[in-house]
């Protein structure tokens, strides 16, 4: 018998066996269909009931803005590698760390993933190519690694943007030559020791002290007391070999302020260097994939060349040298480069919100609860006006925040010495706004998906503990917002004193006459760009005037500037928010105007209006200071409901446009019944 006929016979045999399985048995007439078990509650994917009425790919381009192909490539690298914990749920593959692992295991996995990405060439050019396109590519890849796991992107960020950034911006040629390429290929693992147990926001108050020994040509770095121990230093507890340590520099008995020094903390074998003590910060409520450590320096000696000397230097014979005489200005020049952290952070907050909303909205398009008629089917969650009210305004805000983040990134990569100040103010406003928005969104999304939000694997609840830190690090949100009102005040006072028009920080609208708000707010007025711009400009204008007046009043009574600011905090807070909201509104409008006429532009217009109007509804300032009457406020509230109804049909399209791959969401966003079915239970 030839091999082909025997295999044909085998094939025929298999067909017979299968056929016998499926041939209905002669015994009962109503035998159940053996192939398709009937579920009582059937899952129907959102794609079948919802339509996509605009070009979602084009909308994704607006959301992601840059480096789409790079992002998709990195998404693919993560999805296809076993290192990223792929698991099958309900027929789909999802990736995401196993948060059930111990913190030690999670930290090991994080480092393994970074090593894999390094091998794939992800970090090529990170510290050698500083062109704007390369910087944007880095931001894009950070956002993708963030979407996988916040610990992953933080660990990468600490090494490249904090340690690497410090070398780049505070260091000079000798540091670049010695450290940059070793950093890029991970021969050196860096961390960033600025924060201390007793000083976080107030960097200038840190207590680590460094002196100079001109006999040996060495700096001596020391931790003089327990409150001076470095704390929360990502990478320090397990892996880092080097750190940039921020310390007071005392030369010839004079404290010259905060400076940065390179200190090796581990040798190539992973042993902690002499005169250095390292302890673990311990288990955290989230981000256990990052090994945060505490560091004590016991009169550690380092070569003079280890001072990062782009702003100031110490000569071999111990003379302090700096081109910038004023210590305040010197400190500002020092800190300016750290803005990149603030920028990427703000953007990563929007991606976390996008993931939360994608999951919550997709779930709400497939989950039903209660019937509204006696024999009717249960109603989809997102068909309830209450559910729309909870999620759709947050969706609109996330669109706005996304445009804002893209604008900030572009501003940053194209920075000039003249624009640095503006970038500082804008990032100080956007970072708090976007990170607080993210936490608010995640909480609502967790509640909106009910009990399933408690499952770590469903992501949406777990993201809260992972992202909570964003309101604290890279600048405490409250402290940052105060900087915004101070900067606006500075511009105000300067313009008044020099009797010149407002120029800068978007204050030019104050040179025009005060905007008028109609007493009756119809739907079409509320949705008009003109009205929305007017009311936000009115709020900023009025609050700035009031703030300046109150500050002037206190100072006229002899109160110091610093104490005045602690007394005028209510207006300062309202003003900071007014600036942030107006800036973001402006950016959204510009983005919308650039879109050609069509379905996409129409839907974007609805989103923009919902963004503007929900702010009018939520922020008490509008009623408090009389920009809106109580009748206006009622009209605003009605309009929110109308806009939610109009945006409801576009909900799936709007979250699909975020471009987050299915594998990065969670089983809750897809066939959550199948994902929980008995056959999928692991024994």
Partner 1 sequence: MYKSVSNLVLEETCGSVRIYTLNRTKQLNALSFAMISRLLELFHACDHDPSVKLIIMKGNGRAFCAGGDVAAVVRDISKGDWKLGANYFRKEFTLNYLMATYSKPQVSFLNGIVMGGGAGASIHGRFRIATENSVFAMPETALGLFPDVGASYYLSRLRGFFGEYVGLTGARLDGAEMLACGLATHFVPLHIIDKCFSRKTVEEIISVLESKAVEHKDEWITSTVQTLKKASPTSLKISLRSIREGRLEGVGECLVREYRMVCCVMKGEVSRDFFEGCRALLLDKDKNPNWQPSRLECVTDEMVDRHFSKVDDIDWEDLKLPPRSNLPVHAIAKL
Whole-angstrom distance, CA of residue 153 vs CA of residue 148: 8
Query: Is residue 67 within the footprint of partner 1 (CB under 8 A)?
Result: no
Neighbours of 22 (CB within 10 A): 9
**Could you tell me the CA-to-CA distances from 167 to 170, 173, 409 in Å, in that order?**
6, 9, 21
Q: How far is the CB of 19 from partner 1 (least distance, A)?
A: 5
Tokens of 304: 């003079």
Query: Is residue 35 within the footprint of partner 1 (CB under 8 A)?
Result: yes
Tokens of 467: 């992202």
Phi and psi (nearest 5°) for 106?
-60, -40
Q: How would you list the strands of the sheet with 292-297, edge to edge? A: 230-234, 292-297, 276-280
Q: Which is nearer to partner 1, 605 or 661 (CB)?
A: 661
Q: How far is the CB of 211 from partner 1 (least distance, A)?
A: 49
Query: Is residue 70 within the footprint of partner 1 (CB under 8 A)?
Result: yes
Binder of partner 1 out of 58, 61, 77, 473 (CB under 8 A) = 77
Binder of partner 1 out of 2, 4, 254, 630 (CB under 8 A) = 4
Query: Is residue 72 within the footprint of partner 1 (CB under 8 A)?
Result: yes
Check: CB of residue 353 under 8 Å from CB of residue 441: yes
Query: Is residue 119 within the footprint of partner 1 (CB under 8 A)?
Result: yes
Annotated ligand binding at 234? The verdict is yes
Angle at CA of residue 429, ends 427 and 432, nearest 5°:
95
Q: Which is nearer to partner 1, 22 or 556 (CB)?
A: 22
Q: How far is the CB of 352 from partner 1 (least distance, A)?
A: 19
Angle at CA of residue 608, ends 607 and 612, nearest 5°:
120
Q: Which is nearer to partner 1, 18 or 641 (CB)?
A: 18
Binder of partner 1 out of 10, 112, 561, 624 (CB under 8 A) = 10
**Could you tell me the CA-to-CA distances from 569 to 272, 562, 566, 575, 582 in Å, in that order?**
46, 11, 6, 10, 20
Check: CB of residue 429 under 8 Å from CB of residue 580: yes
Which of these segments, 87-95, 189-197, 547-555, 632-640, binds partner 1 (CB under 8 A)?
87-95
Query: Is residue 19 within the footprint of partner 1 (CB under 8 A)?
Result: yes
Burial letters for 190-199: b for 16+ Cβ neighbours within 10 Å, e otherwise?
bbbbbbbbeb
Burial letters for 84-106: b for 16+ Cβ neighbours within 10 Å, e otherwise?
bbeeebbebebbbbebeeebeeb
Query: Is residue 674 within the footprint of partner 1 (CB under 8 A)?
Result: yes
Q: How far is the CB of 542 from partner 1 (least distance, A)?
A: 47
Binder of partner 1 out of 31, 32, 76, 328 (CB under 8 A) = 76
Query: Is residue 79 within the footprint of partner 1 (CB under 8 A)?
Result: yes
Query: Is residue 125 within the footprint of partner 1 (CB under 8 A)?
Result: no
Query: Is residue 8 within the footprint of partner 1 (CB under 8 A)?
Result: yes
Whole-angstrom distance, CA of residue 481 vs CA of residue 484: 5
Query: Is residue 45 within the footprint of partner 1 (CB under 8 A)?
Result: yes
Q: Which is nearer to partner 1, 15 or 272 (CB)?
A: 15
Binder of partner 1 out of 26, 27, 30, 33 (CB under 8 A) = 33
Helices assigned H by DSSP within 203-323: none
Binder of partner 1 out of 1, 2, 23, 683 (CB under 8 A) = 23
Size of the site for partner 1 (CB under 8 A): 42
Q: Which of residues 246-305 bind partner 1 (CB under 8 A)?
A: none
Check: CB of residue 98 under 8 Å from CB of residue 108: no
Query: Is residue 24 within the footprint of partner 1 (CB under 8 A)?
Result: yes
Q: How far is the CB of 99 from partner 1 (least distance, A)?
A: 24
3-class SS of residue 49: helix
Q: How far is the CB of 93 from partner 1 (least distance, A)?
A: 8
Single out the residue of 402, 325, 273 nearest to residue 410, CA to CA. 402
What is the contact mask toward partner 1 in residues 298 to 337, using x (rule: CB under 8 A)? ----------------------------------------
Q: Which is nearer to partner 1, 412 or 658 (CB)?
A: 658
Q: How far is the CB of 76 from partner 1 (least distance, A)?
A: 5
Q: Which is nearer to partner 1, 3 or 28 (CB)?
A: 3
Whole-angstrom distance, CA of residue 272 vs CA of residue 267: 7
Whole-angstrom distance, CA of residue 172 vs CA of residue 176: 6
Check: CB of residue 390 under 8 Å from CB of residue 448: yes
474 included as an active-site residue: yes
Strands 230-234 and 242-251: unpaired
Query: Is residue 22 within the footprint of partner 1 (CB under 8 A)?
Result: yes
Q: Which of 50, 184, 444, 474 is catalytic?
A: 474
Query: Is residue 43 within the footprint of partner 1 (CB under 8 A)?
Result: yes
Q: At how many degrees (to 10) do helices 529-556 and 477-497 cross?
A: 80
Binder of partner 1 out of 13, 31, 32, 47 (CB under 8 A) = 47
3-class SS of residue 12: helix
Burial letters for 548-587: b for 16+ Cβ neighbours within 10 Å, e otherwise?
bebbeebeeeebeeeebbeebeebbbbbbbbbbbbbbbbb
Q: How far is the CB of 618 from partner 1 (least distance, A)?
A: 35
Query: Is residue 118 within the footprint of partner 1 (CB under 8 A)?
Result: no
Rg (CA), the chain: 29
Q: Which is nearer to partner 1, 69 or 682 (CB)?
A: 69
For residue 303, list its beta bridge partners.
218
Query: Is residue 112 within the footprint of partner 1 (CB under 8 A)?
Result: no
Query: Is residue 15 within the footprint of partner 1 (CB under 8 A)?
Result: yes
Q: Which is nearer to partner 1, 300 or 653 (CB)?
A: 653
Q: Which is nearer to partner 1, 46 or 312 (CB)?
A: 46
List, in order, residues 6 or more apart from 452 with CB less than 8 Å away: 363, 458, 668, 672
Neighbours of 257 (CB within 10 A): 16
Tokens of 516: 């008028």
Q: Which is nearer to partner 1, 92 or 554 (CB)?
A: 92
Residue ranges of the binding site for FAD? 195, 234
Query: Where does this chain bind partner 1 (CB under 8 A)?
Result: 3-4, 7-8, 10-11, 14-15, 18-19, 22-24, 33, 35-36, 43, 45, 47-48, 69-70, 72-73, 75-77, 79-81, 90-93, 119-121, 661-662, 670-671, 674
Residue ranges of the binding site? 195, 234
Catalytic residues: 474
């Amino acid at each position: 018998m030839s091999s082909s006929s025997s295999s044909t016979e085998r094939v025929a045999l298999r067909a017979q066996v299968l056929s016998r399985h499926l041939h209905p048995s002669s015994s009962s007439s109503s035998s159940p269909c053996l192939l398709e078990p009937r579920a009582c509650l059937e899952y129907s994917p959102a794609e079948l009931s919802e339509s996509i009425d605009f070009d979602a790919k084009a909308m994704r381009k607006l959301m992601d803005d840059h480096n789409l192909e790079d992002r998709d490539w990195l998404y693919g690298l993560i999805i296809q590698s076993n290192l990223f914990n792929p698991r099958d749920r309900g027929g789909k593959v999802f990736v995401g760390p196993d948060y059930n692992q111990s913190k030690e295991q999670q930290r090991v996995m994080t480092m393994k993933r970074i090593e894999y990405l390094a091998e794939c060439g992800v970090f090529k050019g990170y510290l050698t190519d500083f062109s704007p396109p390369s910087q944007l590519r880095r931001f894009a890849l950070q956002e993708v690694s963030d979407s996988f796991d916040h610990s992953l992107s933080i660990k990468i960020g600490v090494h490249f943007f904090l340690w690497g950034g410090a070398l780049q911006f505070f260091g000079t040629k000798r540091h670049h030559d010695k450290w940059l390429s070793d950093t890029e290929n991970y021969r050196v693992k860096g961390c960033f020791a600025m924060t201390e147990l007793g000083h976080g926001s107030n960097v200038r108050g840190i207590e680590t002290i460094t002196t100079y020994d001109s006999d040996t040509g060495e700096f001596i770095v020391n931790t003089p007391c327990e409150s001076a121990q470095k704390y929360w230093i990502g990478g320090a507890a397990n892996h880092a070999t080097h750190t940039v340590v921020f310390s007071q520099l005392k030369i010839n008995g004079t404290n010259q302020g905060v400076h940065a020094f390179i200190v090796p903390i581990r040798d190539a074998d992973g042993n902690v260097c002499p005169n250095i003590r390292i302890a673990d910060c311990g288990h955290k409520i989230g981000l256990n994939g990052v090994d945060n450590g505490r560091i004590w320096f016991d009169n550690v000696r380092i070569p003079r060349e280890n001072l990062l000397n782009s702003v100031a230097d110490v000569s071999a014979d111990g003379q302090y040298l700096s081109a910038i005489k004023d210590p305040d200005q010197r400190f500002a020049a020092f800190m300016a480069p750290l803005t990149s952290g603030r920028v990427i952070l703000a953007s990563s907050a929007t991606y976390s919100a996008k993931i939360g909303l994608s999951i919550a909205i997709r779930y709400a398009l497939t989950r039903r609860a209660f019937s509204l008629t006696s024999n009717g089917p249960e109603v989809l969650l997102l068909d309830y006006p209450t559910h729309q009210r909870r999620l759709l305004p947050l969706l609109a805000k996330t669109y706005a925040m996304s445009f804002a983040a893209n604008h900030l990134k572009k501003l940053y990569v194209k920075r000039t010495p003249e624009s640095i100040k503006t970038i500082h103010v804008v990032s100080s406003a956007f970072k708090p706004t976007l990170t607080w928005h993210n936490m608010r969104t995640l909480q609502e999304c967790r509640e909106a998906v009910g009990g399933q939000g408690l499952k770590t694997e469903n992501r949406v609840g777990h993201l809260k503990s992972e992202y909570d830190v964003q309101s604290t690090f890279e600048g405490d949100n409250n402290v940052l917002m105060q900087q915004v009102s101070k900067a606006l005040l500075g511009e105000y006072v300067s313009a008044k004193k020099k009797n010149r028009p407002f120029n800068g920080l978007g204050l030019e609208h104050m040179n025009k006459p005060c905007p008028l708000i109609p007493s009756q707010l119809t739907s079409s007025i509320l949705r008009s760009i003109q009205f929305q711009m007017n009311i936000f400009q009115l709020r900023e204008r009025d609050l700035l005037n009031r703030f300046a007046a109150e500050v002037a009043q206190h100072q006229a009574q002899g109160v110091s500037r610093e104490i005045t600011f602690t007394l005028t905090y209510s207006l300062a807070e309202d003003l900071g928010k007014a600036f942030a909201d107006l800036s973001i509104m402006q950016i959204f409008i510009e983005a919308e105007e650039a879109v050609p006429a069509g379905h996409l532009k129409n839907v974007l217009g609805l989103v923009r209006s919902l963004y503007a109007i929900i702010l009018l509804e939520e922020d008490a300032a509008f009623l408090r200071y009389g920009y809106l009457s109580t009748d206006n406020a009622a009209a605003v509230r009605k309009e929110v409901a109308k806009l939610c109804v109009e945006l409801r049909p576009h909900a799936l399209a709007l979250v699909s446009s975020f471009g987050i791959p299915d594998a990065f969401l969670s089983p809750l966003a897809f066939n959550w019944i199948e994902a929980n079915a008995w056959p999928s239970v692991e024994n």
